[in-house]
């Protein structure tokens, strides 16, 4: 189980393949179970899809089965929560060993912290609105990584707000009065850990409107630590940010990806709305990886 020669991976990623490398299932804050997510990917005409739930690999097995059944290629991934100063930074991780001990430990810690933080937020919200922790539990699949979207769903169910977006611009906004942070490793530690676990780290949506950007100096330290790529074609990256990212990617020889960041009904993002070029996926597959994609 390690990297493969360029020729072999090229054969499995044909020219013209439609590839979406960033999606969420109900194992985190997406609304479709992993198998249904893969079914939706087939319906959207995708040839290859990555399942990248927040801080968990628990959807991999079901996605693999569905992919086999439906003839959709699966790239096993995850979106790691990290933190730079006060900003949350997401790092996509592909094809790492899900049993790697220190990574597993770190993921368990982040998920436990997310749970603690969600309870604390709900307690604060509960002082002003009729919502309880049980409401949130009902919106969360067993064992799923808990996030603000689950609190949003509970608020919607209670009729307090209309949809997730309304929650994120109001009650759940970091300046909405109820926000609590949670522990997450520094991006640099995240990148190192992903590499240590035999994975390929790619910075997720690094040029999101209204969000802090990592200074290029820091990005350079990430590259030195093994950062392999940047997600450029993503609806939340600004046009100006995309241009800067292309420039950075060229200068540091980084892989350039594109994706939908699909969350089922939880977000307007549609599968395949942004794609990753086949040669860029081949570069990911050409890295030394602990797990093989199912293509
Ligand atoms: P958390 O990680 O718990 O702080 O919540 C952030 C998550 O909420 C991200 O992974 C996004 O997918 C999701 N999110 C952010 N903004 C929105 C929005 N406007 N509508 C729906 N989901 C959102
Ligand atoms: Fe999400
Ligand atoms: Fe993200
Ligand atoms: Zn995402």
Confidence at residue 1, expressed as pLDDT on a 0 to 100 scale: 43
Write out pLDDT tens, residues 116-146. 999 999 999 999 999 999 999 999 999 999 9
> What sign has the CA pseudo-torsion 84, 195, 145, 269?
positive
- Please, are residues 50 and 22 in contact by the beta-carbon 8 Å criterion? yes
pLDDT tens-digit readout, 60-82: 999 999 999 999 999 999 999 99
Residue nearest atom 19 of ligand 1, based on CA coordinates:
165
* Cα separation, 68 vs 109, whole angstroms: 32
CA-wise closest residue to 289 among 201, 223, 225, 205: 201
Q: For every residue of 206-245, which 3-state class applies, written as one string? A: CCECCCCCCCHHHHHHHHHCCCCEEEEECCCECHHHHHHH
Residue 183: is its pLDDT beyond 60?
A: yes
Task: Please identify which residue in the block is written with the tokens 């959807």.
Answer: 59
Task: State residue 232 phi and psi, 5-degree precision.
Answer: -100, -55
Ramachandran sector of residue 39 (left: φ over 0; alpha: ψ -120 to 50; beta: rest): alpha
The DSSP secondary-structure symbol of 262 reads B
**pLDDT, tens digit, 9 for 90 and up, residues 186-233:** 999 999 999 999 999 999 999 998 888 899 999 999 999 999 999 999
C-beta 174 within 6 A of ligand 1:
no
Identify the residue whose C-alpha is closest to ligand 1 atom 5.
148
CA–centroid distance, residue 153 to ligand 3 (Å): 18
Nearest CA to ligand 1 atom 8: 149
- Is residue 2's pLDDT more than 70? no
Mean pLDDT of the chain: 96
Strand partners, 84: 87
Residues within 5 A (CB) of ion ligand 3: 90, 204
- Helix intervals (H) in the chain: 6-12, 34-43, 60-70, 101-126, 133-138, 148-157, 164-169, 187-196, 216-224, 239-252, 278-286
147 lines ligand 1 (CB under 6 A): yes
Kindly identify the ligand whose nearest atom is closest to the C-alpha of 117. Answer: 1
State mean pLDDT over 105-122.
98
Rounded to the nearest angstrom, the distance between the alpha carbon of 170 and the centre of ligand 1 is 12
Q: What would the two tokens of residue 239 be?
A: 């046009």
Residue 13: C-alpha distances to residues 74, 75, 272, 295 (Å): 11, 11, 16, 8
Q: Is 266 in the pocket of ligand 1 (CB under 6 A)?
A: yes
Give yes or no for residue 165 CB within 6 A of ligand 1.
Answer: yes
**pTM here?**
0.96
């Amino acid at each position: 189980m390690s990297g493969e020669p360029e020729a072999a991976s090229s054969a499995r990623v044909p020219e013209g393949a439609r590839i979406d490398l960033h999606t969420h299932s109900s194992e985190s804050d997406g609304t479709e179970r992993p198998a249904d997510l893969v079914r939706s990917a087939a319906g959207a005409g995708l040839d290859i899809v990555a399942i990248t739930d927040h801080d968990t690999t628990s959807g991999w097995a079901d996605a693999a089965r569905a992919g086999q059944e439906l003839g959709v290629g699966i790239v096993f991934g995850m979106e790691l929560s990290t933190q730079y100063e006060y900003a949350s930074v997401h790092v996509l991780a592909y094809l790492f060993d899900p049993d790697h001990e220190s990574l597993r430990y770190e993921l368990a810690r982040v998920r436990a912290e997310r749970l603690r933080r969600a309870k604390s937020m709900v307690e604060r919200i509960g002082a002003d609105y009729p919502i309880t922790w049980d409401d949130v539990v009902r919106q969360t699949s067993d064992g799923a990584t808990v996030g603000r979207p689950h609190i949003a769903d509970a608020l919607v169910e209670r009729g307090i707000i209309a949809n997730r977006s309304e929650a994120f611009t109001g009650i759940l906004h970091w300046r909405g009065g109820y926000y609590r942070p949670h522990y997450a490793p520094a991006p640099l530690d995240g990148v190192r850990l992903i590499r240590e676990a035999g994975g390929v780290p790619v910075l997720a949506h690094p040029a999101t409107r209204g969000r802090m950007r990592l200074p290029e100096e820091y990005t350079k330290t990430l590259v030195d630590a093994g950062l392999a790529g940047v997600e450029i074609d993503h609806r939340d990256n600004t046009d100006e940010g995309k241009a800067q990212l292309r420039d950075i990617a060229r200068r540091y020889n980084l892989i350039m990806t594109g994706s939908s960041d699909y969350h089922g009904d939880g977000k307007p993002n549609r599968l395949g709305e942004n794609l990753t070029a086949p040669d860029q996926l081949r570069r990911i597959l050409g890295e030394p990886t602990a797990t093989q994609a199912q293509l």
